[in-house]
Structure 1
Amino acid sequence: MGHYVIIGGGGFLGAHIISTLQKNEFDRRIIVVDPTPRKFETVQVDEKLVTYWKVDSKILNQVLPGACAVFHLAAIGHTGACAGNKKLVHDFNVLGTEQLLEKCREHGVRRFIFASSVAVSFVGEPLYNVSEDEKLPDPRKYLNHYSASKAEAEQLVLSQSTEKFKTVCLRFRAIYGAEDPNVTEKVANLIRRGLFIGMMSVHGREPISAASSAVNCAQSFYLADQMLQQKGVLSKFDLAILATDNTYSIERARRELEYSPAPCQMPEAAEYYKKLKDVRNTPFFSQTFLIFLVVITLSIFLAFIFPQYK
């Protein structure tokens, strides 16, 4: 029967994969290869059946013998310190996948499931009900190195499929849920620290008035300068994929994998973040609030100087 190996399975998606396997009466051993595995309060995992390995140069020769299937989740994403390094992204996402495929064949692994992304189809233009059978865009049109690397890796994975070594690519989009540190937490941050319509103060802070003190004006310029030195809330790709219509068909997954989507998990995710006293890694002054503060300050200043525009 063999065991399962999940490369890069120490994160949010990996935890849910393990939980799903175990919920479906899967009692075989699962090996997770990940340098920094996390625990999630909202995901039920039987740790007795899971072994976590740190990454090193010999790890694949130790974990792949006897494996029946490999789930490949590891990748450099479209955000973070490494996302802008084209060579590093390509080496990790494409060449790393190629080396993993070779090792899987060498050790007789029968199945290889690759975590791809709808980013392979998206170039900033509206998309409607896109299927996996449609031709991929010109690589030069991708909005980031991640998208291009995923497209190349996906084609590589599919080209290696044989009767003895079957490969599958699954395209995901904006994986969300309670404790997701990427998409869901970003949205929660924006909601909880987002755009203010107004603010009242009872305990001594200076209220918004018909004029602004020089101290407050200077502070708003300083805070705005600090904000501009920080990384954006959303990347170009994040903003484009959120603001542009793009939908994808799941008919092939229904037909070939007998996939039946579970009910929307957004209510559970919303309840999780509502219970948190605060959202992690969020500064006291949100970026949107700083922008709002600068706009209000300038508006009041102009109204004070040019009263006819009040």
Structure 2
Amino acid sequence: MAVRENEGIKGNRFVVTGGLGFVGSALCLELLKRGAAEVRSVDTRAYSPWYQHLQKNGVRCIRGDVTQKKDMEKALQGVNCVFHLASYGMSSKEMLQTGLIEEVNVNGTCNVLDVCHEIGIRRFVYVSTYNVVFGGKEIINGNESLPYYPIDEHVDPYGRIMSTAEQLVLKSNGRPSEKQSDVHLHTCAIRPAAIYGPGEERYFSRILSLGQIGLLFVRVGDASVKTDWVYVDNLVQALILASVGLLDDISGREGNPIAAGQAYFISDGSPVNTFDSIISPLFKSLD
């Protein structure tokens, strides 16, 4: 499949839900850098550390909630592709709010999908999680052929609910637009490893806070246990490649995009022991 640089990006309009977040903001800026005609960041927050930088560089910041379909109807008009990053409940005290996790991750995702179908958007890239196949049992050299982890065996509601949401996204692949029967929505799912990079807002601030008050003195798990991580720029590139893989007018694949209906694990390709390779060096560098 021959694809020109920035094909499907240059001159197109995009929505990034959760666009004021760590990954969302990086994605918005990269889309503009590659020649997008318009990038809209849709987020429930009115402000974030990246807000001014996004606006300064031309990102249109819209305050909207994926759980409110009317918000999505306004935000998605006239766009060519949706990157759905908005989610809730991955870590910390959020993990205890099962109702809200389901409302955002399932109902919110359904709202975005429904609006895409109604107005004829062709591409939908969903940011999922490797937890859809993981429930605490060791996986060695796993790949996309792994089955979904049994719904009733997940150790936390986030993994179970995200699994449901991802399956809804992939089952929506190929569904025709309500207004144009010859226009179909093509979907795919990206399953990132643990994400790191400048400005990361979930893990490291909490790890440092625990370290400062002396609560990080026990290693969890065997020293041989390794985990995948992904640098934010690598993840952004994967998201953009996924959107290109959903184009349905590429020579040789007309109407049958290579990424349509697929799920992809994304990592740096170098699993490490989190304590030895990340936490310990971090603490040493900060004395």
TM-score normalised to structure 1 length: 0.61
Q: CA deviation at 1:97?
A: 0.8
CA-CA distance at 1:2 after TM superposition: 3.9
Deviation at 1:71, TM superposition (A): 0.8
Against the structure 1 CA distance between its residues 129 and 259, is the aligned structure 2 distance closer, same or farther, given a 3 Å change threshold? Answer: closer
Q: Distance in 1 between matches of 2:22 and 2:71?
A: 22
One-letter code aligned to 2:110: E
* 1:156 lines up with 2:206 in the alignment: no
Answer yes or no: is the 8 Å Cα contact 1:3–1:67 preserved in 2.
yes
1:48: Cα distance to partner?
Answer: 4.0
2:56 matched to which residue of 1? 47
Which residue identity does 1:47 align to in structure 2?
A: K
Q: Which residue of 1 aligns with 2:18?
A: 8
**2:204 counterpart residue number:** 184
Q: Match for 1:14: what amino acid?
A: G
**Is 1:169 aligned with 2:178?**
no
* Kept after mapping to 2: 8 A contact 1:116/1:150: yes
Match of 1:22 in 2: 32
Within 5 A, what are the aligned runs for 1:52-71? Answer: 52-55=61-64, 57=68, 58-71=70-83
**C-alpha contact 2:144 2:265 (8 A) present in aligned 1:** no
Say whether the 8 Å CA contact 2:88–2:104 is kept in structure 1. Answer: yes
Across the two proteins, how many residue pairs are aligned to each other? 227
Q: Secondary structure at the match of 2:158?
A: helix
Q: Which runs of 5+ in 1 are unaligned?
A: 198-238, 278-310
Point out where structure 2 has 5 or more consecutive residues left out of the alignment: 1-10, 175-182, 246-257, 271-276
| Aligned residues of 2:98 and 2:157 also touching (Cα < 8 A) | yes
One-letter code aligned to 1:186: R
CA distance in structure 1 between the partners assigned to 2:266 and 2:193 by the alignment: 17
| Contact kept? 2:95, 2:157, Cα under 8 Å | yes
Deviation at 1:18, TM superposition (A): 1.6
Pairwise CA distance, 1:157: 0.3
Q: For 1:77 and 1:149, how far apart are their aligned partners in 2?
A: 10
CA–CA separation in structure 2 for the residues paired with 1:260 and 1:121: 14
Task: Determine the C-alpha separation between the residues in 2 that align with 1:245 and 1:5.
Answer: 35
Separation (CA, whole Å) in 2 of partners of 1:115 and 1:260: 10
1:120 aligns with 2:120: no
Deviation for aligned residue 1:80? 4.4
Distance 1:82 1:39, change over 3 A: closer
Corresponding residue number in structure 2 for 1:78: 90
Measure the CA separation in 2 of the matches of 1:6 and 1:82.
22
Deviation at 1:47, TM superposition (A): 2.9
**Aligned residues: percent identity?**
25
**Worse overlay, 162-171 or 72-81:** 72-81
Change (3 A) 1:179 1:243: farther
Q: Please tell me whether the aligned partners of residues 143 and 265 of structure 2 are also in contact (alpha carbons under 8 angstroms).
A: no
* Shift, 1:175, TM fit: 1.2
Give, as a single letter, the amino acid of the residue that structure 2 aligns with 1:12.
F
The CA distance in 2 between the partners of 1:184 and 1:31, in whole Å, is 28
Q: CA offset at residue 191 of structure 1?
A: 4.6
Please state which structure has a larger fraction of its residues in helix. 1
2:44 maps to 1:35: yes
Query: Would the aligned equivalents of 2:31 and 2:39 in 1 still touch at CA under 8 Å?
Result: no
Say which SS state the counterpart of residue 175 (structure 1) adopts.
strand
Question: How far, CA to CA, are the matches of 1:132 and 1:47 in structure 2?
Answer: 39
Q: Matched residues in 1 for 2:22 and 2:110: separation? A: 24
Alpha-carbon deviation of 1:152?
Answer: 0.6
User: What is the CA distance between 1:46 and its match in structure 2?
Assistant: 6.4
Secondary structure class of the residue paired with 1:180: coil
Structure 2 Cα separation of the partners of residues 196 and 14 of structure 1 = 30
8 Å Cα contact 1:124-1:244 kept in structure 2: no
CA contact 2:194–2:228 (8 Å) conserved in 1 = no
**Structure whose CA Rg is larger:** 1
Letter in 2 for 1:183: Y
